Amino acid sequence: MPDHLSLEDEMKKKIASQTEEGTTVDTFSALAQEEESHDIKYRTLSWQKAAILLFGEYVCLAILALAWSWSVLGWICGAFITFGLGLITWYTSYVLWQFCMKHPEARDICDIAAILFPSIPRIAFEFTGIILLLNNIFLVGFHVFTGAKILNTLSDGGACTVVFQAVTAIIGIITTIPRTLNHVSLLSIISAIAMFIAILLSLIYAGIEDAPGFGYGGSYPELGPVTTSIGLPNGGPGFVNGLNAVLNITFLWIGQILYPSFIAEMKRPQDFPKALTALVIMELILFTVTAAVGYYFVGQYATAPIIGSLSEPWARKSAFAFVLVPTVIIGSIYANVAGKFIFHRILGKSRHVYSHSFIGWGTWIAIDVFIWGLAFILGNVIPSMGDFLSIMSSAFDSFVGFGYWPVAYYRLNQGQLFASKRMIASTLFNILIFGLGCFMLGPGLYTSIDAIIIDYSGTVRQPFTCTSNAL
């Protein structure tokens, strides 16, 4: 078990002794009080700021790929999967929160894994640590790649792509310097607003243009007039294409890998369901409206993102410009959580974790530079970041999005799984969720690998190239 868990166990013993003496002390409040003498206080998030962090994580460029998913799946199937995954996300996240409330010693998803599997805590911790680092650093790399794509689009390829990627990485290093999520939440407000403007402009432009410009199957009007389908278009998309469309929607909803880190830095973690409910309601509305309006106007010409379907260069540029802000800030959120995992592994229970010492800040900034530097390399050497994100989603989100939380449900309700009709229904629902995780890990991984093979069969982007990757 990680060293810091033993430290938190000492806190719990202290709290228990205080309770025995007649003093009722809330565990999380006591942990927050322990930080009062520290220079850097981590447990400072209100539920409103936690909600803002969640909005900042979810309101991203991938939302503009929903129209493409719906163009593959059709109206009914697209809407059903979007709503269904939203409800599953809310439920599994609520179970996650219940588990965190029972185990205040948990600081991140890795601690949760160690507690979920008490017979192999070290293996579970290290395995989940690998998932956390790979998932987050690859996502940061994707944002480095996207930042260059935006700058290339805005400048008409005014500089080498590798230069634009370096610029994005440097900005990311600067925005990741704050060590607490409380500071990052302020940036998330700006990120969510900028991304909302980009979404709004994209949908307006798609609506006012006479016709879309481009689609994966050809430029307008090669695929005929814009059409949509109630059921599966053209008799069905095929297994690989259809499942990739589902994975695209799944990727948007799965964010639980960061939740324990958010909860651990809240002043009142018991208020997390407020932030979670606000998030799910907002996302259901935003995802559905964006997908439906985009699909209605561009139909079979939908691209991922929908900005690529716009016919006018000025429209693509003005909408894409606003994506630059969330590209950097969302990358910073993932870099912060990954960096904090490494930071605590290096410094452990040292005073440097909570102080403005040279060693503390020097270590943090070095980790910050390392993560964005590695992301810069990944953004350059991997020819298709989208395909590799699909494989990361199917390989790792199958655990942290679906697989872990039925196990948490089992741990929370052990001995009562079939005690009533309500518990039987809940247990069966969790078995279904676990099955979905297995499906993502199996067929989902297969389709992702197949998509990569298809990409490599054609011309691939060279590493560290000056070739423009503009829309």
For residue 425, is it within any domain?
Answer: yes
**Residue 17: pLDDT above 70?**
no
| CA 305 to chain centroid | 17
For residue 146, is it within any domain?
Answer: yes
For residue 22, is it within any domain?
Answer: no
Q: How far apart are CA 298 and CA 307, in angstroms?
A: 11
For residue 104, is it within any domain?
Answer: yes
The three-class DSSP label of residue 419 is: coil
Containing 292, the helix (H) or strand (E) segment is helix 272-298
pLDDT score, position 11: 39
Q: How many domains does the chain have?
A: 1
For residue 345, is it within any domain?
Answer: yes
As given in the structure block, the two tokens for residue 329 are 């800030």
280-335 pLDDT, tens per residue?
Answer: 999 999 999 999 999 999 999 999 899 999 999 999 999 999 999 999 999 999 99
DSSP alpha helix (H) spans, 35-120: 47-58, 66-73, 75-102, 109-116
pLDDT score, position 461: 67
Judged on CB neighbours under 10 Å (0-12, 13-18, 19+), 243 is buried
For residue 56, is it within any domain?
Answer: yes
For residue 24, is it within any domain?
Answer: no
CB 73 within 8 A of CB 246: yes
DSSP alpha helix (H) spans, 308-357: 313-321, 324-347
121-172 pLDDT, tens per residue?
Answer: 999 999 999 999 999 998 999 999 999 999 999 998 888 899 999 999 999 9
pLDDT score, position 157: 81
As given in the structure block, the two tokens for residue 167 are 């610029």
Query: Which residue, chain included where needed, has tokens 């499942």?
Result: 243
pLDDT score, position 21: 36
Question: The domain containing residue 57 runs over which residues?
Answer: 37-456
For residue 7, is it within any domain?
Answer: no
pLDDT score, position 181: 87
For residue 129, give the CATH number of its domain: 1.20.1740.10
70-94 pLDDT, tens per residue?
Answer: 999 999 999 999 999 999 999 999 9
What global pTM score does this model have? 0.88
90-122 pLDDT, tens per residue?
Answer: 999 999 999 999 999 899 999 999 999 999 999
